Amino acid sequence: MGNQREQLIRAERVRELAENISTKQFVQKYSYGITILESMITGYGRKCDQRLGRSIVDTVVYRLKTAESIADKLEKKGYEISLTNAVEQLSDLAGIRVICSFCDDVYRMDEFLQQRNDIAICRRKDYIRNPKESGYRSIHLIVEMDYPLGAAGEKVRLEVQIRTVAMNYWAKLDHQLCYKTGGRRSGQSIEQIRRELRTYAEEISGIDEKMLNLRKRIEEI
């Protein structure tokens, strides 16, 4: 009974949150951040294409986090589901993922963003040099910029993930596993899949390195 009541309260909070994050003001603010960052990233990509004679960016994708996903993350971190907590406690309400061809391109993009003086890097995590226990690899930047359409001094914060095509392919399958298991950590078949995924993350990283070496050799011909 208590459980059912809790579920109803949760559903009501998620509904309220969904309403709040679909207001014009909210969507405009985070879409602004995405548009500015995306144009910086694609602009730099184009410059590199000309300089290097090849594409460093394969794809750029972005998303605004859904109410359900915000709610799950707030609960995981021990916060009540509310708009205030979402804005204050989460840095990835808006996210951009930059998928690069090779690992050195990932670091090129990372360095480019770090050197910009119109954005601030609040946090940087290099899960390529220090992969997560799951095998996950990517560079994560939490980026903040001015929001000129808001109140004086208002900022907008976003998460940027930079990874190779191969890391992305791995992460998508891993994400699917997390989604399917709904955070369940145990179970024989889940454990077996996790183990295999960890092994393949290593193999993929090895292939990324080999492909980069090949590219460099081809460039020297």
Return the active site residues.
159
Q: Which of residues 15-54 bind ligand 0O2 (CB under 6 A)?
A: none
Q: Which of 37, 44, 62, 65 binds ligand 0O2 (CB under 6 A)?
A: 65
* Stretch (H or E) spanning 177: helix 165-181
Tell whether residue 110 is a contact of ligand 0O2 (CB under 6 A): no
**Alpha-carbon gap, residue 53 to 211, rounded angstroms:** 17
Tell whether residue 132 is a contact of ligand 0O2 (CB under 6 A): yes
Tell whether residue 163 is a contact of ligand 0O2 (CB under 6 A): no
Owner of token pair 């298991």: 181
Angle at 68 (CA atoms; ends 66, 73), nearest 5 degrees: 95
CB under 6 A: which stretch of 6-14, 54-62, 128-136, 195-203 binds ligand 0O2? 128-136
Secondary structure letter of residue 102 according to DSSP = S
Tell whether residue 171 is a contact of ligand 0O2 (CB under 6 A): yes
Q: What are phi and psi of 183, to 5 degrees?
A: 85, -5
CB under 6 A: which stretch of 100-108, 168-176, 191-199, 204-212 binds ligand 0O2? 168-176
Long-range pairs for 25-28: beta carbons < 8 A, 24 or more residues apart: 27/64, 28/149
What is the binding site for ligand 0O2 (CB under 6 A)? 65, 69, 73, 92, 125, 132, 134, 136, 140, 171, 174-175
